[in-house]
Amino acid sequence: MTEKATFGAGCFWGVEAAFRKIDGVLEATSGYSGGRVKDPSYGDVCTGTTGHAEVVEVEYDPGRVSYEELLETFWNEHDPTQVNRQGPDVGTQYRSAIFFHSPEQEAAARASLEAAQARFKKPIATEITPVSEFYRAEEYHQRYFEKGLLSRFFSF
């Protein structure tokens, strides 16, 4: 039986690639969640008016990888102290967010945030909220690094 986890950690391309490397992750899909517009496009989300975050929906086998291990990857893949940005990417769509799928995930996420705070000088800005509708991003965003020019120089 598989489970799902959903994370927003800035631009979804690198986050998706990081989760794909984990043994036990069966699928990592780039998309949008946390907004109020039905079936938004990338262009819609980039306006910052839909309320969506760029996210990665992770389907995983909990017998091979724990939710806590996925949370560790989440913390390691971005700077959760930045508000509505990651590096040069600025806007609410790049916010740090954990969208939990169950009360157990919520509890684990909150405990993980508390433990992670010790690694950062600034307060963590990550929002922890119930999962909302997930919208798969356009096909050209899926496995972006594997398809793009960067894959010629780096192995993901």
Q: Which residue has the higher pLDDT, 60 or 143?
A: 60
From the candidate CATH numbers 3.30.1060.10, 3.90.380.10, 3.40.50.720, 3.40.50.2000, the one assigned to the domain spanning 3-152:
3.30.1060.10
Find, among 67, 59, 78, the residue nearest to 8 by Cα. 78
Pairing state of beta strands 53-60 and 25-33?
antiparallel
Residue extents of the structural domains in the chain: 3-152
Pairing state of beta strands 96-100 and 127-130?
parallel
- Please determine, for residue 149, whether its predicted confidence score (pLDDT) is greater than 60: no
CA–CA gap between residue 124 and residue 118 (Å, rounded): 10
The active-site residue, picked from 9, 11, 71, 98, is 11
- Please determine, for residue 43, whether its predicted confidence score (pLDDT) is greater than 70: yes
- pLDDT, tens only, 121-143: 999 999 999 999 999 987 777 77
Query: pTM value?
Result: 0.90
Active site residue 46: no
